[in-house]
A and B are shown apart, each in its own frame.
Chain A
Amino acid sequence: AQSVTQPDIHITVSEGASLELRCNYSYGATPYLFWYVQSPGQGLQLLLKYFSGDTLVQGIKGFEAEFKRSQSSFNLRKPSVHWSDAAEYFCAVVRSNFGNEKLTFGTGTRLTIIP
């Protein structure tokens, strides 16, 4: 069965500092990969996705992620965080075959921003 691991439960960074959130997946083939963000009391908003092609993908709000097949990783990065980035971030995968489209989520990483 596919699985997603987000090893960091909670990360604290200073405003203006760079950020990297880790995500590793376990699946025999390359799945579709996603990063979602959940602000307090809100639903899940898609930040970016990877299906194929260029392994560095750009998303909204200045986020990017890099797919590394050799490491089964899809880490999320931002060069300079803003206080409004404080939220919970979820990495997710979908198997690539039609008809099995459920999202499997990691446990999430809570991001705290300090002034």
Chain B
Amino acid sequence: DSGVTQTPKHLITATGQRVTLRCSPRSGDLSVYWYQQSLDQGLQFLIQYYNGEERAKGNILERFSAQQFPDLHSELNLSSLELGDSALYFCASSPPGGGGNIQYFGAGTRLSVL
């Protein structure tokens, strides 16, 4: 158990809909990262938050947004869903201190868009 909790585990929805994925980081970790794993794109970094502030952005679509709350949990919002958004979405957290810190991954949320 990594200590990172993601809910829900599975999500099935229809095109055009909006969903929210939730992540609770390990106790004491200030950074939260979101990654997308799909068959055609592999594992791609989406966005990072550090202590409530956006720190880095990757290949995140405009239809997607995220935030980190004062209690440090994070949510990834996906809207106007398309079939191609079907993927496994991972959250990871790491303690403060820079790029050398280990990122601990949650078990992921599998999103299926029908």
A residues whose Cβ falls under 8 Å from a Cβ of B: 31-32, 34, 36, 42-46, 49, 51, 90, 94-108
Contacts and interface: CB of A to CB of B under 8 A. Distances in A.
A45 B2 contact: yes
Given A32-B99, A94-B100, A105 B31 contact: no
Contacts of A90: 43
Interface residues of B, number: 28
The 3 nearest A-B residue pairs measured at CB: A98-B98, A105-B43, A102-B45
B100 A103 contact: no
B108 interface: yes
A31 B70 CA distance: 31
Q: Is the interface of A mostly helix, strand, loop or mixed?
A: loop
Interface in B57-114: 58, 90, 92, 94, 97-108
B62 to A, nearest CB: 19
B49 to A, nearest CB: 11
15 contacts: A36-B105, A43-B2, A43-B107, A45-B2, A94-B100, A98-B99, A99-B55, A101-B48, A101-B55, A101-B94, A102-B33, A105-B42, A106-B42, A108-B42, A108-B43
Given A43-B108, A44-B90, A103 B102 contact: no
Contacts of B31: 101
Given A43-B90, A43-B105, A44-B90, A100 B99 contact: yes
A95 B99 contact: yes
A46 B56 contact: no
Contacts of A108: 42-43
B91 to A, nearest CB: 9
B111 to A, nearest CB: 15
A29 to B, nearest CB: 11
B29 to A, nearest CB: 12
Nearest to B9: A41
Contacts of B108: 43
